[in-house]
Amino acid sequence: MSNPFSLEGKVAMVTGSGRGIGKATALVLAEAGADVVVLSRTAEQVEGTASEIRAMGRKALATTADVRDGQQIADLVSRTLEEFQRIDILVNNAGASFPPVATLQLSEGGWDSLMRENLKSTFMCCKAVAQPMMRQGKGSIINISSLEGVTSATTCSGYGAAKAGVINFTRSLAVEWAPNGIRVNCIVPGYISSPMVPLAVEKYPTLGENVARVPLGHMGQPEDIAYGVLYLASDRAAYTTGTMLVIDGALGCRFD
C-alpha cells in the first residue's frame, strides 16, 4: 500500500529549520519524500540539517537568510525556483519570543521587534511564494503560531499579540487564496522540549509553573509538531484550509 502522506515530487521550504521544530519538520517532510529548502540565519545549522536530508536520498538546498528582510526572501524564492522549478509547501516556523516581561516593561522597540520577527516575516514569506503557487494552481502553507496566540499571554503580551496575528492572517489568506488552489493552515504548539528549556525554566519560575500544568504531564517533542505539519502539507488534507491544529497536551483546555 502506498504512503497516504507521501510528498514524493514536492518541494518544501522550511524557515528556521536549523534546529528544534524547524529541523524536525524538515526531516519529517524529507522522510515523506519531499526535497527541502533548509533556511536559517546560521550556516552551520542549516548545513547539518541539509546533510541529514541528503543522507535520506532527498535533495536539500541549504540557505542562510533573514526572513525579516523582504529582499533576502525574494532572492531565496528565486534561487529555489532555479534549483527545483517549483514550491509546493511553505512552513513559516522562524520566530522569536522575549524572556517573560510585563507589558509596562516592554519597550516600543521590543514590541516592534516581536511583530517583525513573528508576524511580518510570516506575511512576507507567504507573499513571496504566492505567485509560484498560483502559477502551479496548488500549494500548501503552514504557519506556526503559539498557544499564547489563543489564550492570555502570561509571559509576554507582545509575543501573544504577534502570534494571534499569525492565526488571523492564516484564516484571511485561506479564504483569499482558496480560488487559486492554495491551502493555508496554522499549527498552535504548546510547550515543546528543546535544549534551552531547562535553563529558561530555572531562570523564569513562571514558565516552570505553566509547564507543570500540562494535563498530559510532559512537554511535547519537536516531532509532535512536525507530523502535524506533514498532515497539513499532504494531499490527505486537501479539504483542510483556514484551520488551527492545536498540539499542546490539552494545556489550552484548562480553566484553572
**Following CA atoms 105, 106, 109, 113 in sequence, which dihedral angle do they give, to the nearest 10 degrees?**
150
Q: Are 140 and 232 in contact (CB under 8 A)?
A: yes
What string of H, E and C letters represents the secondary structure of the chain?
A: CCCCCCCCCCEEEEECCCCHHHHHHHHHHHHCCCEEEEEECCHHHHHHHHHHHHHCCCCEEEEECCCCCHHHHHHHHHHHHHHHCCCCEEEECCCCCCCCCCHHHCCHHHHHHHHHHHHHHHHHHHHHHHHHHHHHCCEEEEEECCHHHCCCCCCCHHHHHHHHHHHHHHHHHHHHHHHHCEEEEEEEECCECCCCHHHHHHHCHHHHHHHHCCCCCCCECHHHHHHHHHHHHCHHHCCCCCCEEEECCCHHHCCC
Looking at 159, 191, 231, 239, which residue is catalytic?
A: 159
Is 191 annotated as catalytic? no
- Tell me the sheet residues that pair with 92: 143
Strands 244-247 and 139-144: unpaired
Task: Catalogue the active-site residues.
Answer: 159
